[in-house]
Amino acid sequence: MKSLLAISSGGPDAEPAFQAAAQLAQAFDAHLSGLFLPPAKNALGELMGEAGEAMAMLHGGVPNVLLQAGQPRPPTRAELTRQAFEQASAALRASAFHVAPKSDADVVAAFGRLHDLMIVARPGQDPLDPEPAAINAALFETGRPLLVVPHEPFPARLGRAVVTWNGSIAATRATHFALPLLKTCEEVVVLVAESGEGDARPEVLCHYLTQHGVATRADRIDVARASSRARGRAVLHYTEHADADLLVMGAYGQGRMMQFLGLGGATAKVITACKVPLLLAH
């Protein structure tokens, strides 16, 4: 894992994404790229116009349009996001910052496909960008893994990880992409949420991970009679009560992932429910 990409539209999402990415880049001696993706159009932006959006402050999210004559122009979101990136990456061997001209899935795809891992902050904290376009594009347009980090500090070390396993291609890809992180964990729990469909065998994945030097154990939760919403809650509940520092799972296409996690709505709303770093791959 030698090339990381941290994506942010500014606001309160910038610092946690860049700090976590810089920490990982330091640990793996990796090159870190930062990408500023402007917030998509929203009611506030349409009301205030492009100038109002550009003047939105990094943490407040409310344009200051009451500047007195002669006062200096406040920094734009892009400038403040660059400052956050430069502060987070100051100690790194190699880093670069890029500004996208607009919120565009093609931009995320082009950058993401040429990096080993993408990092974003858990959405929902920024009123100007409540459902970042970057997340769907990163998951379903790049073929690369996405790490969604909470707004709390990234763990100094990963003690325990939970890997959800159903034998699918998506779960296999997620586990493979997560290997560099799993190798740093003290323990990895291979979790099968049994729903009566298929015959996932966690011990098979445990054997594979053991061959890569990963300490593992298998576990199961019985969700055969549960709704899709309840199955999703069960996985998240298990992860939280296992004191896990990382959750790894496959993304099964937008519709199937929503159904599996049972939280409904856009991808950003699903990811918001996970309280620990979440690595996803499609």
Q: Which domain holds residue 66?
A: 3-147
Is residue 116 located within the same domain as residue 177? no
pTM of the model: 0.85
47, two tokens = 């009301």
Predicted local confidence at residue 62, as pLDDT = 46
Order of all β-strands in the sheet with 216-222 = 95-99, 31-36, 3-8, 117-121, 146-149, 278-281, 246-250, 160-164, 187-194, 216-222
User: What pLDDT does 46 receive?
Assistant: 41
| pLDDT tens-place values along the chain, 282 residues long | 999 999 999 999 999 999 999 999 999 999 999 999 998 754 444 434 444 444 444 444 444 554 555 677 788 999 999 999 999 999 999 999 999 988 888 999 999 999 999 999 988 778 887 667 788 889 889 999 999 999 999 999 999 999 999 888 989 999 999 999 999 999 999 999 876 555 678 999 999 999 999 999 999 988 777 666 677 778 889 999 999 999 998 887 665 555 555 545 434 445 778 899 999 998
Residue 90's CB is within 10 A of a number of other CB atoms, namely 9
Q: How many Å apart are CA 3 and CA 117, to the nearest integer?
A: 7
* Domain count for the chain: 2
| Domain's final residue, options 147, 174, 206 | 147
Q: Which pLDDT value is given to residue 72?
A: 74
Q: Per the domain annotation, does 246 fall within a domain? A: yes
Nearest Cα residue to 205 out of 163, 245, 264? 163
Q: What is the pLDDT of residues 218-275, one digit of tens each?
A: 999 887 776 666 777 788 899 999 999 999 988 876 655 555 555 454 344 457 788 9
Looking at the structure, do residues 139 and 164 belong to the same domain, yes or no? no
d(CA 67, CA 208): 61
Co-location of 170 and 124 in the same domain: no
227 and 130 in one domain? no
Q: What is the per-residue pLDDT for 69?
A: 58
Q: Are residues 18 and 129 in the same domain?
A: yes
